[in-house]
Amino acid sequence: MNLNTELQKNNSFDAIVVGTGISGGWAAKELTEKGMKTLVLERGRMVKHLEYPTAAMDPWQFPNGDRPTQEDLKQQGVQNRTGYTVKQSSKHWFVNDLENPYNEVKRFDWMRGYHVGGRSITWGRQSYRLGDLDFEANLKDGVAIDWPVRYKEIAPWYDYVEKYIGVSGQNEGLYQLPDGKFLAPMELNCVERELKKSMMDKFGRMLTIGRTAHLTEKLEHSPQRGTCKFRDRCIRGCPYGGYFSSLSSTLWAAEKTGNITLRPNSIVYELIYDDTKGKATGVRIQDAETGEQTEFYAKVIFLCASTFGSTHIMLNSTSSRFPNGFGNDSGELGHNIMDHHLSVGANAEAPGFDDMYYSGRRANGVYVPRFQNIGKDKREYLRGFGYQGGASRQGWMSMVAEMAIGADLKQAIQTPGMWTIGLGGFGEFLPYHENKVYLDKEKKDKYGLPTLTFDVELKDNERKMRKDMSREAAEMLSAAGFTNVKEYDKEIGPGLGIHEMGTARMGRDPKTSVLNKFNQVHACKNVFVTDGSFMVSSACVNPSLTYMAFTARAVNYAMDEMKKGNL
Amino acid sequence: MNRREALQRAGLVLGYAVSAPVLAGVLKGCKAAPELTFKPDFFNPDQAAIVSEVAEIIIPKTDTPGAKDVGVPGFIDKLVKECYSKEDQDRFLAGLKEFDEGADDFMDLDHDKQVAYVKKVHDEALAAMKSGASKERPFILKMKELTLVGFFTSEPGATQVLQYEAVPGAYRGCVPLSEVGKTWAT
């Protein structure tokens, strides 16, 4: 046996999964549970469940009241565009921007972390299904291309992933927001109940408790996970496994099978394409610590490196067969970037509930399902938006603007401040071919790899929608009797929804799409892409649950195809 | 060389350090300034003394600890040094100077006059902010913000003045305030 075949043997697996976030974790779980020896590659550092350095810390254990220092802002200035991630308690889950640069033709906010578990550690956990209102939208509106999937095909997979990850929520029987398999819902507070009643009475609109991937009941199949303890420190990682992450759930399941090999610090920079076989035979990686380059081989490859991560790999994988990027016969790879546009809505004060309060910190809010452009409702823009928000009583920070100081202040602060309530819109973002990302081969990162350049903007449809998003919120808050209602619309870069999607969309026609309806690359049957890049439209709901459902379905399909000898 | 520098140099030459309070006492005749409760890293001793006293006036020791007890002055010194941009630091120091000058030497006032002066400057600043006359948050309100952050993220502030549960275990959304008691620290 010569060295080459030895390497080939040691570095060969049944399957390779690139990425360990929401999608990668699901691919790893499904593949390993079906008996596939699976190599899971993660570009960032190793993290194991329970290795959350700040999770158990109290407020007084953080320097500077948990604020970022000037040095933090120098290292993570782009990541700090969220305003909530670069803190002493959570900054280690976000990249160093100096070491991980990208380029912006127009402002674009790319928020991410490189470590095992990816953004499944820091995600917002809101979990909603797309419905046929969404799957049929492009076809009906004549926008972009049609989704190759309808709700009834994906519904069983939504059932499957919801039951596994545990989603707390309330079924409401709405066409635009399909019901799910939910654990007990969390409670609304007094002011939210008031708004719910008013919205139904005066507008016939629904307000429901957020559907969130938290355990309000134990899951028998995941004994390692406990229920949510209402600490609201999710972004630090949960030592109870109270919310779903790859670490607490899917990677744990994959580990249990004995079929997973997890390799951190492994930057996949290229797919290996074999022209004679018409297949990808593996991937090339660069070790983030040693710089060493290695090849790994497998029968089937799942790209789950995040929308732009996977797109970077595909754009960088050129060959005589794919001169413009892997599987890019359509020319759509890197195009049609979508996010959800947000930071627009209204706030108000809610008088009349001074004798009521709450206990516990609910890491969840209220949800107002889309009501625009449904049935007889017609707007001057396409699609629509939902609201996320909630009510709370002001705490000590509000005292800055109160007259009291001294002993008076100490006394006054012990009574909670006024109730305030807010509704923030999450708007659908249409897929525009010209909203794109591409490689800059001149400008390289510290690994010598080309960097990404973003050219993305909101257009007329989104701007019209934003006006409606703040106006409708204000109208509903006023109608509920709340006071001092204020609309807001903060200019942000696209990307700040951290719901990037669309750069390798699925479709029926290989001429206009990169993937088929099973997330399989049209032009290379043994490569699947199941992160947000497959999305054909953005809908207005948080997308992670949809990535999970499509990933599980794609693995199931890949295994069937393998059995039939088609891969 | 002004008088202060001269005295400090004299101290160095003579081989002993003149502590800030002693120095302040020498400079002002007889009134003894309170000992600093921390060793400033960013502020000079005079600035640190003013920051300490103002913080303690905003949150004084009562039957529960005050700003000095929980280390708020040191907290502010570190935060302004590490978290403020150079521009914001300069603005803060300029505001402090203006505040001090407005009192014709704040540390020279007796305690009651210090409290009355802080209250006056504070109320005027709030009124100006609320009327929209002042856009930038003035020194006294920055001090108030920093004092509140330092105090209520401290263990005594969070657990003795307010209440704190590290692991609540449950969420109850609509409960009489009388059952909950007082404001949650977080």
pLDDT of residue B136: 84
Number of domains in chain A: 2
Most A CBs within 10 Å, among B119, B147, B153, to test the A interface: B153
Residue showing tokens 């400033």:
B40
Question: pLDDT band at residue B33, thresholds of 50, 70 and 90?
Answer: low
**Sign of the dihedral defined by the CA atoms of residues B147, B150, B153, B158, in that order:** negative
| Contact at CB, A70 and B176, closer than 8 angstroms | no
Residue of B79, B126, B148 with shortest CB distance to A403: B126
**Sign of the dihedral defined by the CA atoms of residues A539, A542, A543, A549, in that order:** negative
**In this structure, are A130 and A255 located in the same domain?**
yes
**In this structure, are A207 and A253 located in the same domain?**
no
**In this structure, are A258 and A133 located in the same domain?**
yes
Question: A527 - beta bridge partners?
Answer: A301
ipTM: 0.93
Distance (Å) of CA B147 to CA A62, A269, A556, B150? 16, 50, 57, 5
Q: Where are the beta strands (DSSP E) in chain B?
A: 172-176
- By C-alpha distance, which of A39, A43, A495, A540 is closest to A307? A495
Residue B18 has pLDDT above 70, yes or no: no
- Contacts of residue A384, defined as CB under 8 A and 6 or more positions apart, other chains included, come to A370, A371, A372, A373, A374, A427, A428, A465, A540
- Residue A437 belongs to some domain of the structure: no
- Let me know if A398 is exposed, middle or buried by CB neighbors in 10 A (0-12, 13-18, 19+): middle
- Residue A325 belongs to some domain of the structure: yes
The Cα A188–Cα A358 span in angstroms is 10
| Contact at CB, B58 and A59, closer than 8 angstroms | no
CA angle A88, A121, A36 (to 5 degrees): 145
**In this structure, are A486 and A398 located in the same domain?**
yes
Domain boundaries defined on chain B:
1-33, 34-180
Output the six-digit token pair for A94.
């976000």
Residue B8 has pLDDT above 90, yes or no: no
The Cα A411–Cα A417 span in angstroms is 12
Residue B13 has pLDDT above 70, yes or no: no
- By C-alpha distance, which of A16, A116, A17 is closest to A531? A17
**In this structure, are A481 and A502 located in the same domain?**
no
Distance (Å) of CA B87 to CA A78, B82, B84, B125? 20, 13, 8, 21
Residue of B144, B152, B171 with shortest CB distance to A230: B171
**In this structure, are A260 and A382 located in the same domain?**
no
Which of A446, A463, A493 corresponds to the end of one domain? Answer: A493
Residue of B82, B118, B180 with shortest CB distance to A70: B82
- Return the higher-pLDDT residue of B19 and A233: A233
Residue A354 has pLDDT above 50, yes or no: yes
Residue B21 has pLDDT above 80, yes or no: no
Residue A538 has pLDDT above 90, yes or no: yes
- By C-alpha distance, which of A247, A269, A286, A255 is closest to A116? A247
What average pLDDT does range A82-106 have in this prediction?
97
What would the pLDDT profile of B54-99 be if each residue is shown by its tens digit? 999 999 999 999 999 999 999 999 999 999 999 999 999 999 999 9
- Residue-level length of chain A: 567
pLDDT of residue B135: 78
What would the pLDDT profile of A222-277 be if each residue is shown by its tens digit? 999 999 999 999 999 999 999 999 999 999 999 999 999 999 999 999 999 999 99
- By C-alpha distance, which of A114, A565, A126, A96 is closest to A340? A126
SS3 of A47-105: CCCCCCCCCCCCHHHCHHHHCCCHHHHHHCCCHHHHCCCCCCCCHHHCCCCCCCCCEEC
The Cα A327–Cα A109 span in angstroms is 27
**In this structure, are A257 and A139 located in the same domain?**
yes
Question: A486 - beta bridge partners?
Answer: A347
Residue of A60, A187, A399 with shortest CB distance to B153: A60
**Sign of the dihedral defined by the CA atoms of residues A444, A446, A449, A450, in that order:** negative
Residue B14 has pLDDT above 60, yes or no: no
What average pLDDT does range A292-314 have in this prediction?
98
- Let me know if A45 is exposed, middle or buried by CB neighbors in 10 A (0-12, 13-18, 19+): middle
- Strand-strand pairing, A260-263 and A38-41: parallel
Chain B residues closer than 8 Å to A195 by CB: none
Closest-CA distance of chain A to residue B174, Å: 5
Closest-CA distance of chain B to residue A227, Å: 9
- Residue A371 belongs to some domain of the structure: yes
Distance separating the N- and C-terminal Cα atoms of chain A: 27
The Cα A175–Cα A377 span in angstroms is 14
Residue of A188, A357, A417 with shortest CB distance to B180: A357
Question: A344 - beta bridge partners?
Answer: A489
What average pLDDT does range B112-136 have in this prediction?
93
**Sign of the dihedral defined by the CA atoms of residues A177, A178, A179, A183, in that order:** negative
Residue of B126, B144, B183 with shortest CB distance to A416: B183
| Contact at CB, A360 and B115, closer than 8 angstroms | no
**In this structure, are A282 and A324 located in the same domain?**
yes
**In this structure, are A31 and A133 located in the same domain?**
yes
Chain B residues closer than 8 Å to A359 by CB: 165, 168, 170-172, 175, 180, 184
pLDDT of residue A119: 98
Return the axis-axis angle of helices A190-203 and A460-479, rounded to nearest 10°. Answer: 110
Cβ neighbours of A341 (radius 10 Å): 25
- Residue A21 belongs to some domain of the structure: yes
| Contact at CB, B183 and A401, closer than 8 angstroms | no
Question: pLDDT band at residue A303, thresholds of 50, 70 and 90?
Answer: very high
Residue A539 backbone phi and psi in degrees, to 5: 50, -165
Residue A496 has pLDDT above 70, yes or no: yes
pLDDT of residue B134: 76
**In this structure, are A226 and A360 located in the same domain?**
yes
pLDDT of residue B30: 45
- Residue A485 belongs to some domain of the structure: yes
**In this structure, are A295 and A178 located in the same domain?**
no
Q: Give the A:B interface size as CB pairs under 8 Å.
A: 162
pLDDT of residue A493: 85
Closest-CA distance of chain A to residue B62, Å: 7
pLDDT of residue B1: 36
Give CA torsion, residues B72, B181, A389, A194, to 10 deg. -150
* % of chain A with per-residue pLDDT over 90: 98
The Cα B152–Cα B68 span in angstroms is 13
- Residue A62 belongs to some domain of the structure: no
What average pLDDT does range A140-158 have in this prediction?
98
- Contacts of residue A141, defined as CB under 8 A and 6 or more positions apart, other chains included, come to A382, A383
What would the pLDDT profile of A433-464 be if each residue is shown by its tens digit? 999 999 999 999 999 999 999 999 999 999 99
- By C-alpha distance, which of A207, A195, A199, A200 is closest to A482? A195
Output the six-digit token pair for A18.
């690139």
* Helix residue ranges per DSSP H, A294-440: 307-315, 407-412
**Sign of the dihedral defined by the CA atoms of residues A191, A194, A198, A199, in that order:** positive
pLDDT of residue B20: 43
**In this structure, are A237 and A252 located in the same domain?**
no
| Contact at CB, B177 and A405, closer than 8 angstroms | no
pLDDT of residue B11: 38
Average confidence score pLDDT of chain B: 87
Output the six-digit token pair for A413.
């602060």
Cβ neighbours of A375 (radius 10 Å): 8
What average pLDDT does range B146-165 have in this prediction?
98
| Contact at CB, A405 and B118, closer than 8 angstroms | yes
Task: Domain of residue A313: give its range.
Answer: 1-51+114-157+246-335+497-567
